[in-house]
Amino acid sequence: MAEKRSPDGGSPANRPGRRPSTNAAELERAAFDLFARDGFEATTVEGIAAEVGISKRTFFRYFESKNDVVWGDFGGQLEVMRAHFARCPDGQPIMDAVRAVVVEFNRFDPAQVPWHRKRMELILKVPALQAHSTLRFRDWRAVVADFAAARLGTSASELIPQSIANVALGVALAAYEYWLAHPEEELADIMNRAFEDLASGFGMP
């Protein structure tokens, strides 16, 4: 649900004031190493910056806070998600479209999976990140609600688009929790199964 670029790769930004070899991916990699060694709360922005040999001020040219390092370029990924929704066929049922897009949004190359697992373990398990995650999940729900509202010809603030967005997020988070507990399974497969179970009423009479 967070950014798809893994912290072991990326293109240098080459903005003034940065070391030429510094980029967002390098900062993420250093941060994740420190989170694993010292814990999220004990890790500081100063420590992350020092790890890659840059100033605290330069760090903030890449990320607004330590919390944002965990999420990566989530805003950019939400724009990708909007683009996926825009390509959904007009006649496709709303919940089928939501399932297809959310599953695709959570499909990762094998090399990215370990990094994404680390991200989601932090996002879902670190109490200090919960308030920040609430804001990010709000942005995610807004993408789904906007799509549902456009299909229904109504406002995204109306009950049905909001219900669809909240249900979709709940299913996605349940799938993530299950995936973290069952690493042998593919995230996209779990996500798809969870939405299919929702569509069937969870097999209940």
**Domain 73-200 annotated CATH 1.10.357.10:** yes
Q: At 18, is the pLDDT very low, low, confident or very high (cuts 50, 70, 90)?
A: very low
**Residues in Cβ contact with 117 at an 8 Å cutoff, skipping those fewer than 6 apart:** 179, 180, 183
The per-residue pLDDT for range 40-75, each reduced to its tens digit, is 999 999 999 999 999 999 999 999 999 999 999 999
Give the span between the Cα atoms of 61 and 81, in whole angstroms.
Answer: 25
Confidence band for 3, pLDDT divided at 50, 70 and 90: low
Phi first, then psi, for residue 80 (nearest 5°) are: -65, -40
pTM score, two decimals?
Answer: 0.85
**Fold for the domain defined by 20-71:** Arc Repressor Mutant, subunit A (1.10.10)
Enumerate the domain spans of the chain: 20-71, 73-200
Q: Can you tell me the distance from the alpha carbon of 79 to that of 52, in angstroms, rounded to the nearest whole number?
A: 29
Q: How far is CA 193 from CA 59, 82, 97, in A?
A: 40, 22, 14
- pLDDT of 204 above 90: no
